[in-house]
Amino acid sequence: MADNNKKEVEESARSARRLYWEKSWDDDEFSPIWRGRGIATQVVDSLESGWFPSTGSVLDIGCGEGVIAQWFAKLGYQSVGIDISQSVIDKARSEHAEESTKDLLEFHAVDITESSPPDKQYNILIDRGCLHSIPPVLIKNYVKNISAVSAKGARLLLFVRAFRDGASFNNEMEAKKHVQVTQKVFAGQFQLKRYAATNIGSSTDKSKEKQLPGMIFYLEKL
C-alpha cells in the first residue's frame, strides 16, 4: 500500500508539473523575466577555462527554446536539448532548424523525472533552472536519470534559485543550506567541486527586475 501511495503521489506531482509547463509554453503571451537571457557567463567561462572538455556531447536539461544547446552545437559539440514541454521543443526545433540539419543538434520532449534522455554518454550537462522547479518527491528520479547517461568525469553546471524571501545576496547561512542540500541530492553520483552566488537571470541586462539571485554548482560525475 505504501508503494502504491508513493507512486500515486509521484504521478500526481509529475502530471501537474507537465500540465503547468505545457500550458505556459503554449501561451504566446508567456514571458517570464528569465526568457531570452542568453548564454550565462559561467557557461562560457567553463569552456574557456577548460572546466568543460573541448569535445564531446552536451545535454541541456530543461532547455526551453534551446539557446544553450544550439550554442554548443555551433561550436561542434553533439548537443541535445530536452524539456518536459512538447510545445517548447517544437519552438526550439523550428528556431534552430539549420543546426539540426547538420546532425549536431537534437531536441526531445522528455520528462527527466520519468525517463532518461536519449541514450548517449554526455560529457557536459547544463541545468539552468530545471532542478529547482521539480517537486521534492521527484528529485531522486531526476538524479537517477541524468546519472544513467553521464560519462565518468562528466561536468554538470547547475543553477538554482537562492537568497530569496528576505535573505540577503550571498548570505552565508543561506549558501551553506543550499550546499548541504546539493551534496545530499547528488551523493554517490556527482561530487561537488565548487560553488558561488550568482545571478541566474540575464547575463547582459543589469536592470533590477532582471536580477534573479541564485547559486551555481560545479559538479563532476563519479
Residue 195: strand pairing partners: 217
C-alpha cell at 188: 554517490
Q: Are 143 and 19 in contact (CB under 8 A)?
A: no
| Extents of the domains making up the chain | 2-221
Mean pLDDT for back-to-back runs of 10 residues, the chain (222 residues): 81 95 95 89 96 97 96 96 97 87 89 92 97 96 97 98 88 95 98 95 60 93 98
Q: What pLDDT, on a 0 to 100 scale, did the predictor assign at position 65?
A: 95
Q: What is the pLDDT of residue 205?
A: 57
φ, ψ of residue 123 to 5 degrees: the values are -100, -25
Cell matching residue 149: 547517461
Q: Give the CATH number of domain 2-221.
A: 3.40.50.150
Nearest residue to 145 (alpha-carbon basis) of 1, 14, 2: 14
Which pLDDT value is given to residue 156? 98
Q: How far apart are CA 88 and CA 94, in angstroms?
A: 10
209, 200, 158: which is closest to 40 by C-alpha? 200
Round to whole Å and give the CA distance between 135 and 190. Answer: 20
What pLDDT score was predicted for residue 209? 54
The amino acid that residue 159 corresponds to is F
- 72-81 pLDDT tens trace: 999 999 999 9
Beta strands in the chain (DSSP E): 57-61, 78-83, 105-109, 122-128, 150-161, 190-199, 213-221
pLDDT number for residue 27 = 94
What pLDDT shows up at residue 36?
85
